[in-house]
Amino acid sequence: MEKLVIGSRGSELALWQANHIKERLKKECSMESEIQIVKTTGDKILDAPLNKIGGKGLFTKELEELLLKGAIDLAVHSLKDVPVVFEKGLDLACITKRADVRDTFLSVKFPDLMSLPKGAKVGTTSLRRSMQIKLKRQDLDTESLRGNVQTRLKKLECGEFDAIILAEAGLCRLNVQGAKYRKAFSVEEMIPSMGQGALGVEMLKNHKHFITLQKLNDEESAFCCHLEREFIKGLNGGCQIPIGVHASLMGDKVKIRAVLGLPNGKEVITKEKQGDKTKAFDLVQELLEEFLQSGAKEILEKAQLF
């Protein structure tokens, strides 16, 4: 029997995600598969903040190269890591049903962000999170926090940080207990990254099983994630810049909320649009236009200097 080869990063969370797709392939598509672990640039360089490594596709490039060579059949990504422009011949075969999209505060001593003492050290990999933390608390010290989920939790428990911010979806997938205090921010308090909480399965568009994999697609999640990706694409953005965007459906209505600014929280634009689902992509363009008129490009250029 033919076995599909799934390319995946080697972290515990990445392997949970790859195994999740493997199980669904068997159950819903009657297809056998095996997982091949691949080290990406983002996995190899752990002693520098992600925005200092540079470039897009830090966690996807090596996987995409193997897809193009035919060495693997599909790559499973956290959708938030997937660049909005694909290498020629590649595309997303499916986007899975979204898990919790929120960001979560964790601490050993303090119950929430507002209870942290002045000058407290908050760890995060994300400029987007740093920006929104600084917007609330200019007095906090946000510092780069690299490594897998367990490594980050150990750094918190050892006292290297007073608090850390992680994605709720990853904590739930790994059934993380850990820190004494854990509180998820609402999407209004901290706007998530594009595609946060969803998995993206990338393949060659002409792969014979590309259409088969679409059985794993979740229509509502895919619709919202494509809106978010369209917004990022319009700003020529990637996952290592301070932009948050979240689209949600309420019946036949859609709401798109976005934030963009400097990592220090000094210059920040926050806007939202609501309207009919049928006009959703027009709403994205209107939102983009408002951001551009408010100086979004100039702010993003300044953000590159951080």
Strand partners, 192: none
> Cα separation of 89 and 23, whole Å?
26
Sorted by where each starts, the structural domains of the chain and their CATH numbers stand as 3-96+198-217 (3.40.190.10), 103-184 (3.40.190.10)
Q: Give 299's pLDDT tier (boundaries 50, 70, 90).
A: very high
Percent of the chain residues past pLDDT 70, beyond the cut: 93
Q: Give 14's pLDDT tier (boundaries 50, 70, 90).
A: very high
Q: Which residues, 6+ apart, have CB-to-CB distance to 292 below 8 Å? A: none
Residue 306 scores a pLDDT above 90:
no
Q: What is the pLDDT of residues 103-115, one digit of tens each?
A: 999 999 999 999 9
What pTM was estimated for this model as a whole?
0.93
* Average confidence (pLDDT) over 164-171: 96
| DSSP reduced 3-state for 64 | helix
Catalytic residue among 73, 81, 103, 162: 81
Residue 180 scores a pLDDT above 80:
yes
Is 139 considered catalytic here? no
Strand partners, 90: 204
Residue 265 scores a pLDDT above 60:
yes
* Average confidence (pLDDT) over 146-165: 93
Alpha helices (H) in the chain, listed in sequence order: 12-29, 41-44, 50-53, 61-69, 127-136, 149-157, 168-173, 210-213, 219-234, 280-293, 296-303
Residue 269 scores a pLDDT above 80:
yes
> Cα separation of 155 and 51, whole Å?
21
How far apart, in Å, are the Cα atoms of 246 and each of 122, 190, 197, 271, 273? 23, 10, 11, 11, 11
> Cα separation of 115 and 120, whole Å?
10
Among 58, 48, 45, which residue's Cα sits nearest to residue 144?
A: 48
Q: Return the pLDDT at 52.
A: 54
Residue 39 scores a pLDDT above 70:
yes
Mean pLDDT, rounded, of the chain: 93
> Cα separation of 282 and 216, whole Å?
27
Q: Return the pLDDT at 148.
A: 85
Residue 186 scores a pLDDT above 80:
yes
Q: Return the pLDDT at 2.
A: 85
Q: What is the pLDDT of residues 44-95, one digit of tens each?
A: 665 556 555 555 677 788 999 999 999 999 999 999 989 999 999 999 999 9
Q: What is the pLDDT of residues 286-296, one digit of tens each?
A: 999 999 999 99
Q: Return the pLDDT at 58.
A: 72
Q: Return the pLDDT at 122.
A: 98
* Average confidence (pLDDT) over 168-196: 94
The DSSP H or E segment spanning 270 is: strand 268-276
Q: Which amino acid is at 260?
A: L
Residue 33 scores a pLDDT above 90:
yes
Q: Return the pLDDT at 56.
A: 60
* CA-angle at 188, arms to 147 and 131, nearest 5°: 45
Q: What is the pLDDT of residues 207-261, one digit of tens each?
A: 999 999 999 999 999 999 999 999 999 998 665 689 999 999 999 999 999 999 9
Among 195, 263, 219, 182, which residue's Cα sits nearest to residue 94?
A: 219
How far apart, in Å, are the Cα atoms of 16 and each of 68, 82, 127, 174? 24, 18, 26, 8
Residue 266 scores a pLDDT above 60:
yes
